[in-house]
Each structure stands twice: as structure tokens, then as C-alpha cells.
Chain A
Amino acid sequence: MTFTEKYAAEIEGIMARFPHKKSAVLPLMHLAQHYYGYMSREAMEEVAAILDLDPTHILSLAGFYTLYYEEPVGTYVLEICNDLACALRGADEFVEMACDKLGVGVDGTTEDGLFTIKTVMCLAACDRAPMLQCNLKFEENLDEEKFEQLIARLRDEAANGRTPPTVVEKVAAYAKSTS
């Protein structure tokens, strides 16, 4: 099944929100990335085909906006904020600890393909640092122990194949219901 087939209703709902279909491009890219894991060639070509756009336009958007991954990433992308306000509360040390625990560097993916660590700019959660987003879900007021618990929970989730809907899917479901 392609992404276009699986999310036909969501795609229609998203496009119905705008008088010009080009406006649907970022939301469709979010959904395509969710389906393919990253902004693969297929993902870009499908979005381009749905919206009658040149695939090179999708490529340039994927390069411009940081939430699109141009290379494959792990099942769980851990985006840790180490911008100034968080760094004042230990975010740089937290990044180091997280990398050590998972045995990867920043932008690296664990061998089992489960986790990618990235560092990102302010996520509007500075009062709850150290913090991260895991596949865009906020995880806040963290420390070493809570990070270990998070990783254990995610490992368990993945091993048992019961991954709850991601926030991208949840949001797309609203577009479906309002179309």
C-alpha cells in the first residue's frame, strides 16, 4: 500500500482546508514522512504527484525545514533542546549523558535502528529543561533516571509491536474529521 492509499481520507481533508492545494504541501510531507520514516524519494514523488508539483520543490522544502529528515532515521527520533535557556539548566550535559547511554553521537542512530539523537533549537519548553521531543511528543523535566525509563518504555513498546499513534497521525485525523 502506498501512503496515498493508506491516508486517502486524511489527504483529502487536509487539501479541503485551503483554496489552493499547494498550501497542503507541508502537512502532506509530515504525513508522508511518518509513513516512509523519512523524506525518501518515493515520499517526495508521491506528495508531488498529489499536488501537481515539481518534485524538486519538495526536495527544496525538505532541505529548508528542519522537521523533515533527508536521511533515514531511527524508529524514535529524540530531539533534545540544547539552546541557551535549556543549556543554563544542564541540557548540554544531558545530551552527553543521552549519547553515552545509547552509544551514539549526535545525529547518530543506534545499531538496532531504534533511536536517533538530534540536538535542536528552542522548543518552547525552557521552563521544563532538560527536555526533548520524541517523534514530536514532549518529554519534559528530565534527568538521567527519567531518560532511562523513557528508553526502556520505548524499547518495550517496539519489541511488543504496540506503538501508539504518533502525534502526526493524531493531527491528521482531525483533518479527516473536518473535511
Chain B
Amino acid sequence: MAYILLRHRDIENLHKLDVYREHGGYEALQKAIDEYTPAEVIDIVKASQLRGRGGAGFPTGLKWSFIPKGPGEKYITINSDESEMGTFKDRELLEYNPHQVIEGALIAAYAVGAPQIYNYMRGEFMDIGYHFEEAILECYAAGLLGENILGSDFSCDMSAYYGAGAYICGEETALLNSLMGELGQPWAKPPFPAIEGLYFKPTVVNNTETLANVPPIITNGAEWYTSMGTEKSKGPKIVCLSGHINKPGNYEIVMGMTFRELLFSGEYGGGIPNGKEFKGLLPSGGSGPVITADALDAPISYEGLDVYGSVMGSASVVVMDETVDMVWAAMKMEHFFKHESCGKCTPCREGTYWMDQLLHRIYEGEGTLQDLDVLKSVANRIGGRTLCALGDFAINPVLGTVRHFSNEYEAKIKK
């Protein structure tokens, strides 16, 4: 099947504007402007059932509909912070298919009436940001950005922005604070960004991959889009595959494919290296609970892991073979969350510190049964009590591994 998102794999030099246009590029934007009112564009995106690819899966059309109508200062912010462990899909889009992201963002801007777009990339993306910067320059030169885009009365500017190393800046309100020159810490919602976002004006924050889905939806229609996928998860999804797998990398799948096919089919992951057995995988990097072999036939979709107590998130699939010590894996992940907690609220700041300490102690064979109990109870007391979802993510390394591999913890307890 031809690629919908990773189209640069079919078409050489797609990052260049002339090549992108030769292959239908910016026709979706033209169509949106010529044939649809902003409200109709929102309706089409709603009908497509597109959901956010940044992890939470919020319906994109609905999000756009929350933005107050009419002219005024409003913003589109592309979330290219991509810092979840195991995630490298937005990077590939920015590097090799930047125009599809820009076109999607422009359609979003037309739909909500925003005259300005920022792309917030993590600071570590400066090395690949030049493709995106080049694409912006090409768009200005071709009348696709700036005043009167494509000769219409729609005007919009765009610029790139680089963060400076902070996972929390992927959280939408932290991102906006960071873009305003503040510490990258979340604020308590409400106010939601749709009402008070960047510079306290209505703002849409969408993930890079989410926006790349928009041009093909406008071109081919909502029905085409909903013909792909499962009941609650429509369309294509880029899955990032890493860890103990023969062919790591990004794969564009249609939602509903099973984890088993992703891991073991020769077309995708190609199995576990060195004839080792599969032990578990993290379906959404460090932020979702580990799943084991019994969940391999679950469909890759927003709802597919509900019964297994996990989530697809941004679909960053980290595979672990039989040799992996799960206490070690949990310790690695908790170290990440301790490092990335922004420190604004106590349960997350203190809790990640203690979980990190206790995991180290247990891993090193110095932990007691009481330490293990404390570890579990700390984890159980953080969930739902924090300002942002990082606190909820941070307990999953512990709760997921304890649930499936409690024997490995017990084996390490000091006798």
C-alpha cells in the first residue's frame, strides 16, 4: 500500500517544494480555501474521526471547534517536542516530509482563523530543523505563507522554534509557557489553551503527525479516512519500533494491526534478534505500562490495550527479550521521570525521587520487603493527584513491572 504519511519513502526529495507540488502538494490547502468555509473544514476533520497522535488521542476536529470564531489574535502551535523515550516519528516527518506538516498546519490555521503558526521543536532537533526552515522559506517565496495565500484573503505566518532540553515541554501548557520565555512548567487547566493559550490568546496545540494527516483527509474525504482502522481508531499511524528487534525503525500501519504482526512479520520488525524469546514490550515508551506475550494479539489502536491495562500513547514500541531484568528496566524509566519532573507539584517531584531511590536500592540487592511495599504505595499515591499527566505516567514503570514481574522484584529482596 502506498504511504499516506511517510510518503517520502515512495517519492524521492519530497522535502522540496517543487517535488511536493508535483505530487499533489498544497492542493488540499487550495481545495480547503476554494471549496470550503472554515466551519466546513472543521466538520470534515470531525467526520474523519482523526484523533491526536501526541498520545492522548483527543478528537482533532472537536479541538479546533473550541476556538472562538471570527478574526483576532489566535495561534496554531505544532508540538514537535518529541521526547518520549522510544519515539522518533515526528523527527522523520520534519526531516523528510516537512511540507505535509506545514500544509496540515495551514489548513488548521484556515479552519480556526489563526494568522500565526509556531513549530515548537525540541532543542535537540536543531540538526534536522534546517529542512523545516528551508520548507518555510520555500513557502514564503511561493506565496504559500504570508499575505493572501494562493491569492485568497487568507493570510498566515509561520516560524520555527527550538526548545532547550525538557521532556515536560511536550505537555501543551508547559510548551506554551516555554514559548513565552518562561520555565517549561504546566499550568492548571482551565484555562484550556483553546481559550487562553499562547500570549493568553486562543491556541490550538497539535502533534506533528496529527497535522500530517490533515491534507490527505481534505483531498480524499472523511469517508476514505474512516474506511481505514478500527471502530475508535481511524486512519494510518506511524509506529516507532526499537529495542530488541531485528528491524528497528518507523513503520506506517493502518490501525488495527496486531503487535504480533508488527514484531514478527518480515515486512515489519522481523522478529527478535539472536533467536531470543520475547519477554515484554512498552507500547508507549516509558509512559505506559509494559505488556507481555498474552497481549501480542491486541490491535494497535487507542482502545486495543484497554483490557490489558495499557495504552497505545504515541505508539513507541520498545521490545524487550528474555534477557532483560525488569527491575533494571523500571529503574531506567523511573530515572527518566525523576530527571524530567518539572518540580511544580509535590507528589510528582517527591514521588519520582523516592521511586528512583527505592528502585536503585532493590536493583542493587539492598532492598527489603518493606522497601518494596513503600515503592508500591508511593506509586499508588501519585496517580490522579498531580497537576499534569507526567505524574500519572511516572507510576507506570513501577506498577506495570510489579504487576507482571513481581517474582523478579522478590528475587532481589535482601534475605
Contacts and interface: CB of A to CB of B under 8 A. Distances in A.
A65 B85 contact: no
B202 to A, nearest CB: 15
Interface residues of B, number: 61
B248 A174 contact: no
Interface in B344-400: none
B275 interface: no
Contact of A67 (B82, B127, B164): B164
Interface string A13-25: 0000101101111
User: Which of A20, A26, A128, A133 has the most chain B CB atoms closer than 10 A to its own CB?
Assistant: A26
Given A27-B161, A171-B129, A85 B86 contact: yes
A178 B140 contact: yes
B249 interface: yes
A121 interface: yes
B144 interface: no
A88 B324 contact: yes
Given A26-B164, A178-B159, A171 B126 contact: yes
Contact of A83 (B85, B178, B241): B85
A17 B183 CA distance: 20
A121 B339 contact: yes
Contacts of B324: 88
A65 B91 contact: no
Contacts of A53: 181
A26 B181 contact: yes
B43 interface: no
B31 to A, nearest CB: 28
A121 B81 CA distance: 13
Contact of A23 (B122, B181, B183): B181
Interface of B: 82-88, 90-91, 122-130, 133, 136-137, 140, 159-167, 178-184, 199, 240-244, 248-250, 282, 285-286, 318-320, 324, 329, 332-333, 336, 339-340, 342
9 contacts: A26-B181, A30-B126, A65-B165, A89-B242, A121-B336, A122-B86, A122-B87, A126-B318, A178-B140
